[in-house]
A and B are shown apart, each in its own frame.
Chain A
Amino acid sequence: MSLKIIRSTDAIAVEHPVITVFGQPGICKTSLGYSAKDPLLLDSDDGAHRAANRRDTLPIHAWSDVEQITPDMLAPYSTIVADTVGRFLDLMTVSIIEQTPKYGRDGSLTLQGYGVLKARFRTWLTQLRALGKDVVLIAHAKEDKDGDNMIVRPDITGASYGEVMKVSDLVGYVYMAGKNRVLDFNPTDRWVGKNPGQWKPLQIPPVEKATETLAKLIEDARKALGAISQASAQVAAQVEAWKTKIAAFTKVEEFNSAIPEIRKLTPVQNVQVKKLLMDRAKESNISFDAEKVLFFIAPPTLATEPVAAGF
């Protein structure tokens, strides 16, 4: 296979997004998990038997069960669904304390133990992604007080919660709106969320018809994350081109002749290039007159206070 270097300003596609879906018990989260593409559901919550549209399922009763999973076993599947991720991390916690008792105190992990959990969890996800699997993490919802408000978040104990939020590209809350199930990735003052696709709340079809819901969503998420990366890379490449050009500036005329060109850039490009230009001017002992919008060489005795670039 030929090697391809990705340049620093190239887009990097997120080929296998991690999606976290959380909701109240009985709202058919597991059934939703089965609607991913070619899923294997790792059932650590003994809830698969209650789900509709059931697909292949692997009961997980201890972390050692997960450790026995081989790449060959996973080969037929495109998506690995951890149901529930909170229970998964609990099992991992038990395993860590069993193997190294000093990492536990009163059944919880010490700071060092938590470091081990974080590393193991990340390694596990990295391995799944390296095998080309999409990952769905399912969690129960719990309601917590957040200042004066109540906020719904995934039910994951302690510091593990932060780990799941970090690795998740998308986080969506499933709730009932009248008789309809709704999946909302938008964060609100009532629940947490991550929504790179900027989707509006999505109505989930009735359970018997929702056999490909997550498969389509994951595909859309892949495209959305790819588009984000592409759009950002295009802007970054233009700014980098300006950076190279500006680095060669030494004369006042060069700085001044760049101003009309920089004005034509979009606001987000403009501010970045302007900052590069002002930094380079400072390095070159060239001052800027904000009122005249001109660079100039200040007499040696004149103080040169930094000013905002008004262009």
Chain B
Amino acid sequence: MLRISATLLQEFALYSTEDWYTEAMLNDCIKGVFKSTPEIQMGLAYHKLLERPQKNLEGLYERNGFRFAPEAIDSMLAKLDPGVFEVKLEKSMGVTREGEQVILVTKVDHIAGLHISEFKTTTDPFDAERYMGSYQWRTYVLVFEAEIFSYHVAVLERVDDRIKLRDLASMNVYPYSGLESDVTAMVRELVRYLRISKLDEFVRRQAKVTA
């Protein structure tokens, strides 16, 4: 069984289309080599606080040493309908010529009904093109059969001892008639790449028996 995450598919799409994205970067992603940065750590802390918002005695949201001004968290939470955080779902994409099942593996930040929300943190200005072109949302929408997907992008800046919200940009995208064939084609290309590069072992898992 080959388990392809939405993240890996998006990285492969970047490798396929962007000059700056190197094969070494893709291979690190396939092998699960994770290079953390302070920005990534800040993003992780931010996500955790959205799921479990709790202020410290100073009235700031604090997690893993990152201190967020209340507005940074509250403004994002105000964008969400009542729903569920961190929900996983998988979808079978069929069987390869070699007889291996291909599974798309996803975990959304938040879902309310058929509305998926994904949170992003950045210190750069909002880049609509980057999100509209992403295979991440295409994969999530396909697997969850969602009707609407919102990117909520918090543009953050460090001011003194805390992190403040400079901008909060939201953009909706929707499933379209060719979405499934686009994702399927990208999965096929990725699987082919994994085989040729002999990297398929990194995404291979034993089939899990579920009741």
Seen from chain A, the residues whose Cβ lies within 8 Å of a Cβ on chain B are 8-9, 111, 115, 146-149, 153, 159, 161-162, 165-166, 169, 185-188, 192-196, 198-200, 228, 231-237, 239-240, 243, 267-268, 271-272, 275-276, 293, 308, 310-311
Give the complex CA separation of A117 and B87 in angstroms.
37
Complex interface: chain B residues within 8 A of A149 (CB): 17
Given A147-B19, A166-B170, A311-B211: A268 in contact with B145 (beta carbons within 8 A): yes
CB distance from A230 to the nearest CB of B (A): 10
Q: Name the residue of chain B whose CB is nearest to the CB of A270.
A: B89
A268 contacts B144, C-beta separation under 8 Å? yes
Evaluate contact between A236 and B81: CB separation under 8 angstroms.
Answer: yes
Query: What is the distance, in angstroms, from B51's C-beta to the closest C-beta of chain A?
Result: 10
Select B176's contact among A187, A233, A311, beta carbons within 8 Å: A187
CB pair B132 A192 closer than 8 Å: yes
A276 x B19 contact (CB < 8 A): no
Q: Are B19 and A232 in contact (CB under 8 A)?
A: no
Contact residues in B for A188 (Cβ distance below 8 Å): 178
Contact A161 B128 (CB under 8 A): yes
Listed by A's residue number, 12 A-B pairs whose Cβ atoms lie within 8 Å are A146-B133, A148-B19, A153-B129, A186-B178, A193-B176, A194-B132, A231-B113, A268-B89, A271-B87, A271-B88, A275-B84, A311-B211
CB A85 to nearest CB in B, in angstroms, measures 14
Give, as a whole number of angstroms, the nearest-CB distance from B139 to chain A.
Answer: 14
* Smallest Cβ-Cβ distance to B178: which chain A residue: A186
Contacts of A162 in B (CB 8 A): 125-129, 169, 171
Tell me, rounded to whole Å, the shortest Cβ–Cβ distance linking A60 to chain B: 25
What residues of B have a CB within 8 angstroms of the CB of A153 in the complex? Answer: 129
CB-contact partner of B18 in A147, A161, A235, A271, under 8 A: A147
Q: A275–B129 contact, CB under 8 A?
A: no
Known A148-B19, A166-B169; contact A236-B129, beta-carbon cutoff 8 A: no
The answer on a CB contact under 8 Å between B177 and A186 is: yes
Q: Are A195 and B210 in contact (CB under 8 A)?
A: no
